[in-house]
Copies of this chain bind each other. A is one copy, B any other.
């Protein structure tokens, strides 16, 4: 697979779906990526199994608040700055980039950086979706050090964080991101090709592509049905947002929404940066790390958690998250309790792998 003008729109659509309401709007990152592949040529996507064992892989993406990211002007040069800092830290050349967060803008930004650097992108990521915290990654579960965490802005200011503890490294980085304007480019969990296998979530980019392509395919003509088929998901509700409550300044304390489909049933959604929990008649229908996606019923486009509005007609779907989050450690890191939600819910069985292949 190569990423070029023919499939980048599909990638961006798929990344928006996998973002589960978070990760930032990929529209700007898509526009940049289109320009970058036009100027520098297509970006090869390489499967983890095809990486040389010694190749240094740099997972990269954006760190910070999605709401700020949507307005962020990227120079496109951030990948070079990140790479230079990582190469200085590691004393070795970076051989491939990888999105650490496939959901939202984070799945698309690395395309620009890879195109400009002439490097391939690994068909994998660290989340399989979007998460708010930098250490909520499969590499953390696999014991890969997050440090050095490199942050860079468009002016080439950099911050390098080193901590033995990945959660602390993420927290320190998050604090430094505030000084860089609330959002910036980041690289962390650098590892070799040998380490990628078993540590990263494989197939993330091709899954995003498959989702995005299904949404505009002629068969089946219904994009929701097509998406559900690729993701192995289910329809939770189609209806109207009849209640929406945002808590704290700018919704920082999370938000709740109720979707009324007609009849007695109401689906209640809990969200923070992402959609985290769907309840119906007192029962959990889906919960993080499962993907809960809200789509605008008129357009089929994913609706970010911060963009949901009262009165809007929406379709809500749920789909299994990556297998890695179903373990006890995975649930502790990225399950409902990690978000302060007191629900006991086993994640859905893993993604149907043959839907992607």
Contact = CB atoms under 8 A, between A and B. Distances in A.
A172 interface: yes
Interface string A171-206: 111111011100000000000000000000000000
A163 to B, nearest CB: 4
5 nearest A-B pairs in the assembled complex, by CB-CB distance: A175-B179, A157-B163, A172-B179, A176-B176, A160-B160
Contact of A176 (B155, B168, B172): B172
B157 A172 contact: yes
A223 to B, nearest CB: 42
Interface residues of A, number: 22
A162 interface: yes
B175 A178 contact: yes
A58 to B, nearest CB: 18
A164 B158 CA distance: 10
A178 B160 CA distance: 15
A108 to B, nearest CB: 26
A31 interface: no
A349 interface: no
Contacts of A338: none
Nearest to A176: B176
Given A156-B164, A158-B163, 11 more contacts: A155-B164, A157-B169, A158-B161, A158-B162, A159-B160, A159-B172, A159-B176, A160-B161, A172-B179, A172-B180, A175-B180
25 contacts: A155-B163, A155-B164, A156-B164, A157-B162, A157-B164, A157-B172, A158-B163, A159-B159, A159-B160, A159-B161, A159-B172, A159-B176, A160-B160, A160-B161, A160-B162, A171-B179, A172-B179, A172-B180, A173-B179, A174-B179, A175-B176, A175-B179, A175-B180, A176-B176, A178-B178
Contacts of A163: 155, 157-158
A156 B160 CA distance: 14
Contacts of A178: 175, 178
Interface of A: 155-165, 168-169, 171-176, 178-180
A108 B91 CA distance: 37
Contacts of A171: 179
Contacts of A160: 159-162
A160 to B, nearest CB: 4
Nearest to A85: B162
Nearest to A168: B157
Contacts of A156: 164
Contacts of A157: 161-165, 168-169, 172
Nearest to A170: B179
Nearest to A152: B162
A176 B162 CA distance: 12
Q: Which of A156, A157, A164, A165 has most B Cβ within 10 Å?
A: A157
